[in-house]
Structure 1
């Protein structure tokens, strides 16, 4: 009885959780506010189209590439120490990004932000795993941690809109500075230090091989669906896969590997990683289409579109918090499967959306978001809980990497499927018969280009082009939704199979 009492977290741990929640909220907030800031920074810095893509994508590249390394490094040098170093670097890089005077400078700052972010994400989660040893408390704490991502997603469009209406584009990056100052001031007093006492030295060749695996593969995932089978992404994919094979061989030979491959021997661990990958891939793709629908089809300004997204985000927050409590009474695998089914229903409902039914879109998005909350919280808990405490950093890094790769895959593959559906519908559309050839080519590219092109056309023709473009876009949206429904239903079956109690 005494051992159980000693393992229970007290007030200090719960206050420490609040400190750890702040950078988690910030990281998700940063993703949403950047998309709003792109038009503003583009007008100021005048980046090329390629530079604009790098400004957006380099952050995710760095996070995906460095998560495993940083998670394992935290196990060795101490998770609090790594968190504090990452927080200081993130704050400094935020200032650098805010006051960038060129596209190249902003890309460099975003690169540093990605590396720093890779130290923060696994450090917060692994510290939670060590601070809350009781499974019930740990599940609730991870639910709070996951909820902060939801809060950031909910607040991002609103906070970003307010900042951009009153300040310059760099203000969105300065959000990180006060958060990191609070973390640096409070962490030494509220967060204990944890490290793996049996860990050996960090194997530098393994670090280099992990980067040589994840960075090229992530690059190829993002490039191939957009530009097709060009030599550079194909070479990057082949190089990444070759480096990955060498990385696995080296880990199997080392007494103290960078990544303990024995973790994958746990069926629940493997299943939870795959479920996170599937869930994040569908959400990443559909979010882009939903935000475009609200602004380009429904005609809402960015601020109002952000307010429309608050209701689904609140559903996400509520279910993220409720899932760990529900899992105390019902097996976590059953809660996970039920949540995935709810998301699948939301995706299925979204296949019925038309240009005249924005409320139906909102209801569908609410359901799929409400279903995704427990998926994030419970899958993360299953991943971290399956690993021994001394390997919590590596386990949490794998979970985060799965989510990051899922986002990249979803946006790249499902996003390309939706775009292909749009272009296919517009290619044979009679609405473009009277449109000049150069303008028609732009209309076929995307709905955003079609809206911009229509502004220069006469009233009857503009309405005709916009009507056809909106219908084509909705065809792409419903195609992505149908794929999401199938993937989420498959993930629900996977949850039942892999999360069964022995």
Structure 2
């Protein structure tokens, strides 16, 4: 197939899709800052808080691939616009949710909207930019917008929570959507090149059910939220549904998802990088937000300001990754950035956050920059290894890796934090057993229980909880450092002989819509 012509409005199209992606990223980071506030306001338990955070990436992991392949069939423009509308309405519902259960329900709708937005954004970038250098720059700028949204999220969220209720953090998305939807409607071309074949709802449900069952089973068993009699059947059912889905794809003339994508080392490396790095980052951000507010006594706004270095430096990582990858090779850039991230985390694990000086902000900046370069490198590896007609599908795989990594990362690190916290917490022997049991679950639960105690008991519980959480925080950062160091070596191995796919050939015929 001949090379696609350069699209004159490609940079304006990039602007439109980056702005469409911005609210999804802001929503993720605002929630980390809002966790202590909504925990106390709604009286949410540690399990409910985990589900409020976790239901979003859990559902996204199951929905992204079906939505990405749907976008390849019917056009990215239609799916993206629908996702923006759903996301805006869901944000409105979340802002005024009166109970943890209703907030979890609103997060379900947010996941649906986000799953329609994310693969379309990456798919549009792949289809719009055929030149390898321009594509690397575009993906770098996309990464910058993501990091900028993550930087603005805690800062704006902290400012809102300083003066308003926790729901204002979600309400922020509504005016953003009102501005983004018309821009996307006007700038994106109405005529799109789409892939042939049908989008089978039955196969999509198989994939969604399989992902949800498998991930929920893993989360339930590892987190101990459900007995083995519930977790094990869910895991087995999920694995069986995914196996059936894979068999159907292998025997289909025009499969919903081309499983051959997983056979390409660069795509496999990119997916592993996105999964593990995003999981480690989610765990680090969650524990850092709690350390700053619960232990150091910072307000949400002060916590947001404290976290600016990691987010602001991450905003620089996108373009830097594109330039360095072209000059020094993707393998060196990806593995070195992950190794630097591990060094920064290990150093932060032993740093004194009570007296941060210049060292802690500098380490946070190094961590943000290095992780941003590594995650952008994973995007370059994936999106440069597929033809334009596979763009949304490949984008959905990458987005799934991010969301799966975030969901499982929060769960695994949450369980890790809970167990270390429980082991490190020294409680007053006179504290009633039911109260002691709940207080030992998390530092948030300790604060909730402290509100019901007399002043001396409350002070003793809060101080004990702070000391236990500081130990937990240090161990979590060091564990994340070890994980990223191992990932750096694995990526270095997988990217041997990496070569970007030629922009010229397409692997299957396309149709214009």
Q: CA deviation at 1:330?
A: 0.8
Partner residue in 1 for 2:511: none
Q: What secondary structure, in the 3-state scheme, does the structure 2 residue paired with 1:328 have?
A: helix
Counterparts of 2:142 and 2:318, CA distance in 1 = 9
Counterparts of 2:445 and 2:28, CA distance in 1 = 23
What is the aligned counterpart of 1:444 among 426, 429, 440?
440
Partner residue in 2 for 1:28: 25
Partner residue in 2 for 1:252: 250
Q: CA deviation at 1:446?
A: 2.0
Flag the structure with more relative contact order, 1 or 2, with Cα contacts below 8 A and sequence separation at least 6: 2
Counterparts of 1:326 and 1:250, CA distance in 2 = 41
Q: CA deviation at 1:324?
A: 0.7
Counterparts of 2:42 and 2:293, CA distance in 1 = 25
**CA shift digits 1:411-436 (9 cap, x unpaired):** 1112312321221122xx4x634545
* Superposed counterparts of 1:237-276, under 5 Å: 237-276=235-274
What is the aligned counterpart of 1:479 among 475, 481, 499?
475
**CA shift digits 1:52-110 (9 cap, x unpaired):** 65544333233221100000000000111211122222233333444556666544433
The structure in which a higher percent of residues are helix is 1
Partner residue in 1 for 2:211: 214
Q: TM-score, length-normalised on structure 1?
A: 0.90
- 1:491 corresponds to 2:487: yes
Counterparts of 1:354 and 1:33, CA distance in 2 = 25
Q: What secondary structure, in the 3-state scheme, does the structure 1 residue paired with 2:196 have?
A: coil
* Superposed counterparts of 1:359-374, under 5 Å: 359=357, 361-374=360-373
Q: CA deviation at 1:180?
A: 2.6
**CA shift digits 1:108-134 (9 cap, x unpaired):** 433222111111000011101111111
Kept in 2: contact 1:98–1:174 (CA 8 A): yes
Counterparts of 2:418 and 2:47, CA distance in 1 = 19
Counterparts of 1:98 and 1:190, CA distance in 2 = 30
Kept in 2: contact 1:354–1:474 (CA 8 A): no
Counterparts of 2:413 and 2:322, CA distance in 1 = 30
Q: Give the 3 Å change call, closer, same or farther, for CA 306–454 of structure 1 in structure 2.
A: same
Counterparts of 1:441 and 1:51, CA distance in 2 = 16
* Superposed counterparts of 1:191-230, under 5 Å: 191-192=188-189, 197-227=194-224, 230=227
Q: Give aligned pairs, total.
A: 494
* Superposed counterparts of 1:353-432, under 5 Å: 353-354=351-352, 356-359=354-357, 361-426=360-425, 429=426, 432=428
Partner residue in 2 for 1:64: 61
Partner residue in 2 for 1:81: 78
Counterparts of 2:99 and 2:446, CA distance in 1 = 29
- 1:305 corresponds to 2:303: yes
Unaligned runs of 5+ in 1: none
Q: What secondary structure, in the 3-state scheme, does the structure 2 residue paired with 1:329 have?
A: helix
Partner residue in 2 for 1:90: 87
Range 185-194 or range 313-322, more displaced: 185-194
Q: CA deviation at 1:40?
A: 6.2
Kept in 2: contact 1:75–1:195 (CA 8 A): no
Partner residue in 2 for 1:144: 141
Range 302-311 or range 179-188, more displaced: 179-188
Q: CA deviation at 1:452?
A: 4.8
What is the aligned counterpart of 1:318 among 316, 319, 344?
316
Q: Give the 3 Å change call, closer, same or farther, for CA 440–353 of structure 1 in structure 2.
A: farther
Counterparts of 1:313 and 1:205, CA distance in 2 = 41
Q: CA deviation at 1:463?
A: 5.9
**CA shift digits 1:438-496 (9 cap, x unpaired):** 4433442222333455564555x666554443332222222222221221111111221
- 1:338 corresponds to 2:336: yes
Q: Give the 3 Å change call, closer, same or farther, for CA 350–37 of structure 1 in structure 2.
A: closer
Range 79-88 or range 397-406, more displaced: 79-88
Q: What secondary structure, in the 3-state scheme, does the structure 2 residue paired with 1:345 have?
A: helix
Q: Give the 3 Å change call, closer, same or farther, for CA 321–270 of structure 1 in structure 2.
A: same
Q: Give the 3 Å change call, closer, same or farther, for CA 364–189 of structure 1 in structure 2.
A: same
Unaligned runs of 5+ in 2: 499-513
Counterparts of 1:207 and 1:410, CA distance in 2 = 25
What is the aligned counterpart of 2:496 among 475, 494, 500?
500
Partner residue in 1 for 2:132: 135
- 1:154 corresponds to 2:151: yes
